[in-house]
Structure 1
Amino acid sequence: MSSNGEDKPGLSWPDHDSGPTPPPEYKSRLRDEDRATRKPLAWWDRIKLLLLLLGAFMVLVWSTLAEFAGLISFQDAFAQTTRAHWWLLLLAGLELIRQLHYLISERSSAYHRFWTDRVFGGFGRRAGRMNDWNRYRIGRVLKVLFFLVILDLVLAKLFDLSPALALFQLPVVLFQALPFILQLSFGFFFVIVQFVGLFWFLSRGGVDVYFPDDIKTRYTDVWGQDNVLAKVKENMVFLEDPESIERKGGYVPGGILLWGPPGTGKTLMAESVAGETGKPFVFVDPGAFIQMFMGVGILKVKSLFRKLRKLAVKYGGVIVFFDEADSLGNRGALSGGGPWGGGSMTPSAWSANPPCNGLSYVSADAASLLFRGSLEPSTAGERPGGITDRIIMGGMGMGGGMGTLNALLTELSGLKKPRGFFNRVVRRALGMRPKPPPKYRILVMMATNLPQALDEALLRPGRIDRIYKVGYPSKVGRIRTYQGYFAKVRNELTDEQIEKLATITPYATGASIKDLVNEALINAIRRGRESILWEDVIKAKQLKDLGPPEDVEYIERERHAVAVHEACHAVAAYKVRRHLTIDIATIEKGGTYLGMVASIPPEDQFTRWRTEYEADIMVSLASLAGERLFFEGDSSSGVSGDLESATKLATMMEGYWGMGSTVASHGVTHEVGIGGGGKPGKGESQKEKDLLESNLGYRIEEKLGELLERIADLLSDERKTVLAVAHALETNRTVTGDDVEAIIEGRPGPLIDGRPYHVPHFVEQAEAYHAEALAAHKAHSKPTVPLPSLPVPAPVYSEVPSGNGELGDPEGGSAAEGA
C-alpha cells in the first residue's frame, strides 16, 4: 500500500502530510439582518431601469426629429420632448436617487443602519402596535386611494384635463363606450364561461361557516367519552388563549385527528367544540373534494384556506372540521391481507388491540423490513375462493385525488410566504423587505373511522399534532350515555335496569344508544303509553340486534330439532364458558338463522386466552355433538355456521396465535415458502409438498376432534338438562339468559320457574316426547303425542334482550351460536 493513501478506498483524505489537502470549510451565507451594510447589487441590476427610462426618452426625441425633419434642431426636439414628457425624466431622476441611496448603503454602515433601524424600522414598529385586523382595514383603504390617484392621473392625461376634474369625466366615457364593452364581454363569456365558469361553480359549496352561538351543542351533551373530551378541551384553551403557551416558547397545536368506529361521537364532539368556542367554525362536507374534473379539488382547497385565513385574522382564530377525512387524505395503503381477506393479521397502532410493544423491541432496520414486507403482495398461491392480491385503479370521481391531498398538505404546513401584492411587490420596489404573514391561528380537526387510509405525511406533527381514539364507551360511559338519553324522555326505568342494559350492550355506541332509546319510545307509543317501560327497551334491543322475526311456523318435528340444537349450545355455554354469559336463546326464525343462543361479556375485557377460545369452540361444536347424540348419529345442515366458526378459531390458534402444538406463525411461513403448512420451495417432490400442506390441517382437525369429544361427553351427562331447555324453547320460543340459567340450576328465574323441569315425572315425559319426535324424524311424519306440559304452568314471555356479534371474533366480544 502506498504512503499517499491512494490504495485506501473510502477515505476522504489520509491522516498524514503527504496526502491531498482537506476541502475548505463551508461558510454560510449571511442573512440580511446580520449584514452591517446593504447587500451589493450587480451593475446591470443597478442601471437597467435607468437605461430603460432614458432610452424611452431618447426614442421620443428621435420621434420628434423624424416628425419635423429639417425644420427643428436636436436641441429644439429635446426641449419639446422634455416639455411634453417631463415625467419620464422625473422617473429617471427618482431612479438615480434610489440607486445612489443603495450605493451609499452598500458603503456606509451608519447610513444603512439609519434608514433600516430609524426610518423603515420605526415605521414598522409603529405599525406593529396595531393588531392585524386594523392593519388590514387601513391597508385596504390606502390601496383604494392609491388606485384612484393613479387612475386620476391617467385620465387627466387622456382627457387633457386637470387631475381635479378628470376623475369625474370617467362615468361619461364609460357610458359612451358601454356598447363596445358589452360586445367584448359577451364574446369573452361565450368563449370562456364553459371552462372558467364551470370550474368556478364546481369549486363552490361543501363548506359551511358557523359563527359563535349558531350551534347550541355544548360539551355537556357529549357522554361516554370524558377522557377524549378533556384532551379536546385542552386544545380549545390554547386556541382561545394562545399567549399562555407561546410566551413560554411553545406553539398552539394546529391539528387534531379523532378516529374510531362509526357512531362513537366524533362528529358530535366537533359539534360541541363549535358550540363552545368563541371562534368561527367551518364544517367541510366529506364529499366536497370528490369531483369529476381534475383540478377542481385543488381549487376547493385553496379557496377554503383563503377563507380560513381571512376568518383567522378577523376573529383571532378559526376551527375547521373535516368529517370522514379518509375521503380526502386517502393516499395510505389499505391492506386486504390476512387468511380471511379481512385485513392483515398483524396488529397495528390503529387496531382495537394493538401489540404490547409494537416494533419497539426490534432495530430500525428490522422494523423497516417488516413494514416493507407487510406492503408486498403474498408470494403464496391463490387463496381459496379466488381471493388474490390485486391493484385497483381509481379513475375520475374516485376520491379527493393526489393533487387535492398535496394541496391540503401544502396549505397545512407549506412555506409561510408573504401575501398581498403591495406587501410582496411594492415594498420590495421601495427597498423594504416584505412583511412576514401574521400568525393564522387555524385549528384543523379531522374525524375518520379508517385512519389506516390516511397518508403518513398528513399525520405528522405540525399538521396533525394530536391523535385521539374515540373508541367504544366503557360500561361507565354507556351508563352515562343511557342516563343522558333516557333523561330526555319519560321512563320508569330504575338505575339497576339501566346498569343491566349497559351490561348487555357491550359494544353500544352513542348513536346506537340514541337509536335504541328512540325505538323504545316508539314501542311505548305503539302500546298507548306515555312512559317507557323495561319491556319496551327489551323489545327495542331485540329488534335492533336480530331484526323482526319471520312470520313462519315450524313443523313439529323440526321445531323440536331446532330446540334441541339451541339447547345444546345453551347448556354447553353455561357449563364450559365463563368469559361470556348467555343473553338470549331463541328458536324464532330470523333472516339468516333458524335459532340462536347469544352471549355477551359481563365486563370489559381486552385480552383473550387459549382456554376461552377452546370454550368457544366447544360451544360451537355442541350443536354437532348434540344432534349426533339425540338423533342417533344423524346431523343437519344447520351446524355449518357453527363448524365454520370453530374451524376459524382453531386455525388461528394453531397457525397464528401460538395456542397450539407449534409456535411458528403460519402467515409468515406461508409467505416465505417454508414448512409449517406453507408453500414448499422449488424442486421439492409432490410427496414433500403434500406433507407440508397437510401439516396445519392435520393439527386443526386433531384439535377440533379433541374438543368435540369433550363436549359430547358433557352433553351426554347433561341429557335431561338439554331436554329441559329444549322444552322451554318450544314452549316460549324465546328465553332470556337468566331464565336459561334458572332452568339448568332448577331454581326460580325472573320470568320462568326452573324447578318443575327437574321433577322426575317431567323428565320421563320429556324423554318420551323426544323418542316420539325422533321416530317422526326418521319416518318424516308427525309426532303422535303432544308436547308435555309442566306440573306448574310457567309464564310465557318472548320480548327479551338479545345478543349481538358472532363467534370467532379474535378481539373478543359477544358470541352467537345457532342453526
Structure 2
Amino acid sequence: MAEEYEKGLDIRQRASLANSGGLIDFVIANKYKTVLWLVVTVAMITLWVTATETMAGIFLTIAQFLLGAAFMIVQFAALFLFLGRGRIYWVQPGETGVTFTDYRGNDQILEVARRVVTILRGQSDVRQMGGTYTAGLLLEGPPGSGKSYLAQAMATEAGLPFAYASAPGFSNMFFGVGNLRVMMLYSKARKMAKKHGGAIVFIDEIDAIGMARSAQTSGQGSGTVGGLFGNPGMMILNELLLQMDPPNFDNDWRARLLRRLGLKKERATPPPVLTVGATNLAHTLDQALLRPGRFDRKIHIDFPDFDGRKDIIAYYLAKVRHEQMPLDRMANDTIRYSPVGIKHLVNEAVIHAHFDGRDAINYADFTRAREDHEYGLREPIRNMSQDERRRIAYHEAGHAIAQVKLLPHHRIAKVTIIRHGDALGFAAAKPLEERYTLVREEALAHIQISLASRAAEELFLGTRMSGVSGDLHHATQTAYFMLTQWGMDGGLFSYAPWGGGQLDPETKTRIEQVLEQEFKKSKTLLTTYAGAVHEIAEGLLESDELDGQDVIDIIAKHDDLLASGRGPRVLPEYALMGAGGIGGPAPQLIAPNGSNGANGSNGSTEPAEADAADSEEGRDPAQ
C-alpha cells in the first residue's frame, strides 16, 4: 500500500511540475518522451543521409504512400468543413441597423432586453461584484411577435457581432455533421467574442433540435440505423448543451501550445457568448436546456395590447405619407395582430393607394388591406344563380342580426355575399375592446350566433343548406368546452387531463340539449327581427355587401318599430319547435296589421303593394 501511495504521489508531483514550471521543468517532467522523440528524429536523419539507392526507393515509396493518405485525409476534412458550414449568417456590429427605438409595442420586454445588454457590455463590473453575465435568453411567443427582431436590436445596442442560425439547418443526412456545425458555430462565436468583447448567437426555431429527449426516444425505432448510430437529433442536442455551458478552459491552439510548454498558468476566462433562442413551443424543450447556466431567462413575448398596437401603428405610419388616421379604431381593428402583421397592413395600404392614383393612404386603404388579409381576396362568382344568392343572403342576414343583438362588446364590420377565399359570404364583427375571459352568457351568445344561420334558413327559406357546416362545428365545439372543461353547467369535473377524452353518449346528449335550447333562442330572435332580416337580405342581393353601420341602422329602425308596437308578431309554436316548414308549408309570419303577410311576405314591415312587387320580381324567399 505504501509503494502504491508513493507511486501515486510521484505521478501527482510530476503532473504538478509539468503544469506549474517553465520550459526546463516541462522537459524534466517529460524526459522519457523527450528522449524518445530525439532518438527517432536523429535516426530518421541518419538513415536519410546514409541511405543507399535501394533504401532511398523504399523511403520514396513510403513518402508517396503517406502523401496519398494525407491527401485523402485533407479531402475528407475539406468535405466535412464544407458540410459543417450550415445556414449560419454572421452580421457585424451595427450592420442590422435595428435598435431599441425600433422595437415597439412592449415596454416590459424591452426593459428586460436593456438589462441583459447592459450586463453583457459591463461584464467586468459584474464579475468584480462576484456575479456573471447572462449566458442564455429564451424568447417564447407566437410567430411574428418580434423575437428575432428583438435579438437583432440587442446585438446592435451591445455593439457585438450577431450570428443568425436556423435550428433545422443543423440537421444533415451525414452522421455527425450536425454536431460539427454546432461546434463550428460556437468556435467562431468565441473567436468573435475575444475580438469584440462578446458575441450573440441567435438560434431560431430551437425546438427543432432542443426537443425533450424523452419525446425523441419514445418515437425512435430499433432499426439498423437507429441501433448503430442512435438518434441524430439527440446527439445535436447533447452537443448544444455542452457548447452552451462548456468546461472552464481555453482551447484555441495558442492556449494549447502554452499549456504544453508550461507557460500558461492563469485561470482560463471564457469569452462571453450570449445564446438567444426563439420558439413558440417552449413546453417541448428539454429540461437540461432550460436550466440556469444555459437559458438563464425565459421571456414570453405575446401580441401587443391596445396601447402597444397604437404605438406600432403610429411608428409605421410615420414612415409613409398618410391622411388623418383614427389610431384608436385601427388599434381595435388589429386585436391579436403581431407587429409584423401591422407592418404588412400599412405596406399593403400604400400599395392600394398607389394603384388608386393617390400619394397618401387613408383609413379606407388600411381597412381594405386588413380585410384582404383576414378574409382573402374578393372573388365574385359572376354566374351564380339568383336563388343561390338569395340563400346566402338570408344565411348571412341571420348571422348579422344575432351579432348586433347578442355581442354588445363587438361592432359588426361588414356583411357580404361576395366570395372571399373558401367563404361564399360572411358577417364579420370586430371587438370594441380586448377581452381575455369568457363568461357563460357570452359563450351561449356565440352558440346562438353560429346557429342563427340555420335558423334563418328554416324560417325564411324553408330548407337547410350545406354551407352551415362551419357554424355547426363552432357551436358544437363551444358547447363541448362549456360542459367538459369550463364547468359552465355547474359541474366541477374536467376532461382536460385526458386530452379531452372520447365523446360518450351522455355527453353528446347534454351537448345536443344545449344546442337545441340556443337554437330556439336564435329562432325567436330572428322571428322578432324578421323585417330586419328581409331588409338586410334584400340589401345584400342589391349591392352584394353592406357596411356594418348600414346593418346597425337597419336594426335600429326596426327597434323603433318594435318599441311602437308595429313590429311582426312571433311565429307559431310549430315553427319554433319543428323543422321550420321542411316537409310542409313554409312558415308564415303574422303581418303588423294582424293578417298573414301577402304572398308569403314572412312578416315584412313594408306595405302589401311592395311585397307583391317583390314577389313579381322573384325575390320572395317563401316562393
Task: Kindly state the Cα deviation for residue 541 of structure 1 after the two structures are TM-superposed.
Answer: 1.6
Structure 2 counterpart of 1:31: none
Which residues in structure 2 correspond to 1:193-204 (within 5 Å)?
A: 195-204=76-85
The SS at the match of 1:665 is coil
Q: Residue in 2 aligned with 1:256?
A: 137
Indicate the SS of the match to 2:200: strand
Counterpart of 1:641 in structure 2 is 470
C-alpha distance in 1, partners of 2:213/2:442? 35
Question: Could you give the per-residue CA deviations for residues 180-235 of structure 1, whole angstroms, max 9, x where no partner exists?
Answer: 89845751255445643322211124233322232211111111122211111110
Counterpart among 711, 716, 735 of residue 546 in structure 2: 735
Higher mean displacement: 738-747 or 263-272: 738-747
**Which of 305, 312, 333 is 1:504 aligned to?**
333
Find the residue that maps to 2:277 and give its secondary structure.
Answer: strand
Residue 713 of structure 1 aligns with which residue? Answer: 524
Work out which of the residue numbers 377, 389, 392 in structure 2 matches 1:548: 377
Corresponding position: 1:489 with 2:320: yes
Q: Do the aligned partners of residues 237 and 178 (structure 1) sit closer, same or farther apart at CA in structure 2, a change above 3 Å counting?
A: farther
Residues 481, 47 of structure 1: alpha-carbon distance in 2 compared, 3 angstrom cutoff: closer
Specify whether residues 46 and 233 from structure 1 end up closer, same or farther in structure 2 by C-alpha distance, changes over 3 A only: closer
Matched, 1:701 2:512: yes
Which of 614, 617, 627 is 2:457 aligned to?
627
Equivalent in 249, 265, 271 of residue 440 of structure 1: 271
CA 1:712–1:187: 2 relative to 1, 3 Å = same
Equivalent residue for 1:213, pick from 94, 97, 119: 94
User: Normalised by the size of structure 1, how large is the TM-score?
Assistant: 0.60
Structure 1 residues 405-454: Cα deviation after superposition (integer angstroms, max 9, x where no partner)? 10110121243246467867875886x99543214211111111222232
What is the match of residue 290 of structure 2? 459
RMSD (Å), alpha carbons: 4.1
Letter in structure 1 aligned against 2:239: A
What is the percentage of aligned positions where both structures have the same residue?
33
Q: What stretches of structure 1 of length at least 5 have no aligned partner?
A: 1-39, 50-97, 103-115, 124-150, 161-176, 336-374, 376-389, 679-692, 748-757, 780-819
Which secondary structure state, in structure 2, belongs to the residue aligned with residue 746 of structure 1? helix
Which residue is equivalent to 1:280?
161
Query: Residue 642 and residue 768 in structure 1: after superposition, are their counterparts in 2 closer, same or farther (change >3 A)?
Result: farther
Q: Structure 1 residue 404 and structure 2 residue 236: aligned?
A: yes
What pairs up with 1:404-423 in 2 under 5 angstroms? Answer: 404-417=236-249, 419=251
- Alignment of structure 1 residues 163-178 onto 2, 5 Å: none
Q: Does 1:607 align with 2:437?
A: yes
Question: What code does the residue aligned with 1:597 have?
Answer: A
- Give the aligned residue type for 1:458: L
Match of 1:586 in 2: 416
Inter-partner Cα distance in structure 1 for 2:361 and 2:499: 56
Q: Which letter does structure 1 place at the counterpart of 2:163? A: V
Q: Does 1:471 align with 2:302?
A: yes
Distance 1:421 1:47, change over 3 A: farther
Please say which structure displays the higher CA radius of gyration: 1
- Whole-Å separation in 1 of the counterparts to 2:419 and 2:609: 27
The alignment partner of 1:662 has SS state of coil
CA pair 268-669 structure 1, distance change in 2 beyond 3 A: closer
Alignment correspondent of 1:518: 347
- Match of residue 148 from structure 2: 267
Kindly state the Cα deviation for residue 257 of structure 1 after the two structures are TM-superposed.
0.9
Which secondary structure state, in structure 2, belongs to the residue aligned with residue 445 of structure 1?
A: strand
Task: Tell me: CA distance 1:492–1:186, structure 2 relative to 1, closer, same or farther (3 Å).
Answer: farther
The question of whether the paired residues in 2 share the 8 Å contact of 1:418 and 1:435 is answered with: no
Contact 1:265–1:510 (Cα < 8 Å) also in 2: yes
Cα deviation, residue 282, structure 1:
2.1
> How far apart are residue 720 of structure 1 and its match?
0.6
Instruction: Mark the CA change 1:414 to 1:227 in structure 2 (over 3 Å): closer, same or farther.
Output: same
Deviations 1:559-615 (A, max 9, x none): 222111111111111112223322221111223122111122221221111111100
Q: 1:557 to 1:460 in 2, by over 3 A?
A: same
Q: Deviations over 1:68-103 (max 9, x none)?
A: xxxxxxxxxxxxxxxxxxxxxxxxxxxxxx98x98x
SS at match of 1:401: helix
Give 1:708 shift.
Answer: 0.9
Distance (whole Å) between structure 2 residues aligned to residue 398 and residue 718 of structure 1: 68
CA contact (8 A) 1:475 1:502 kept: yes
1 CA distance for matches of 2:260 and 2:74? Answer: 36
- Secondary structure of 2:469's match? helix
How far apart, CA to CA, are the structure 2 residues paired with 1:619 and 1:425?
76
Write the letter of the residue equivalent to 2:525: L
Q: 1:695 to 1:392 in 2, by over 3 A?
A: farther
Q: Normalising by structure 2, report the TM-score.
A: 0.78
Distance (Å, rounded) in 1 between the aligned partners of 2:214 and 2:364: 47
Q: Aligned to 2:443, what secondary structure does the other structure show?
A: helix
Paired AA for residue 278 in structure 1: G
- Secondary structure at the counterpart of residue 212 of structure 2: coil
Q: 1:192 to 1:548 in 2, by over 3 A?
A: same
CA distance in 2, matches of 1:276, 1:481: 20
Equivalent-residue separation in structure 2 for 1:645 and 1:201 (angstroms): 52
Q: 1:730 to 1:644 in 2, by over 3 A?
A: same
Question: In the alignment, is residue 666 of structure 1 matched against residue 495 of structure 2?
Answer: yes
Residue pair 2:476, 2:511 contacting (<8 A) in 1 also: yes
CA contact (8 A) 1:424 1:434 kept: no
Q: CA deviation at 1:499?
A: 2.2
Question: 1:100-111 to 2 correspondence within 5 Å?
Answer: none
Q: Is the Cα contact below 8 Å between 2:120 and 2:158 reproduced in 1?
A: no
Match of 1:561 in 2: 391
Task: Give the corresponding residue for 2:281.
Answer: 450
Shift of 1:473: 1.0
CA distance in 1, matches of 2:374, 2:515: 30
Aligned to 2:68, which of 162, 171, 187?
187
Match of 1:21 in 2: none
Which of 108, 113, 117 matches 1:227?
A: 108
Instruction: Establish whether residue 653 from structure 1 lines up as the match of residue 482 from structure 2.
Output: yes
State the distance in 2 between where 1:222 and 1:520 align.
22
Q: Is 1:302 aligned to residue 204 of structure 2?
A: no
Contact 1:289 1:399 survives alignment (8 Å): no
CA distance in 2, matches of 1:702, 1:179: 95
Query: In the aligned structure 2, how far is the partner of 1:189 from the partner of 1:156?
Result: 24
Following the alignment from structure 1 to structure 2, what is the Cα–Cα distance between the partners of residues 608 and 529? 43
1:311 equivalent in alignment to 2:192: yes
Rate the CA distance shift 1:765–1:446 in 2: closer, same or farther, 3 A: farther
Q: 1:194 to 1:273 in 2, by over 3 A?
A: same
Q: Does the aligned pair in 2 maintain the 1:328–1:404 contact within 8 Å?
A: yes
Alpha-carbon distance in structure 2 between the residues aligned to 1:510 and 1:645 = 28
Q: Report the AA paired with residue 406 of structure 2.
A: V
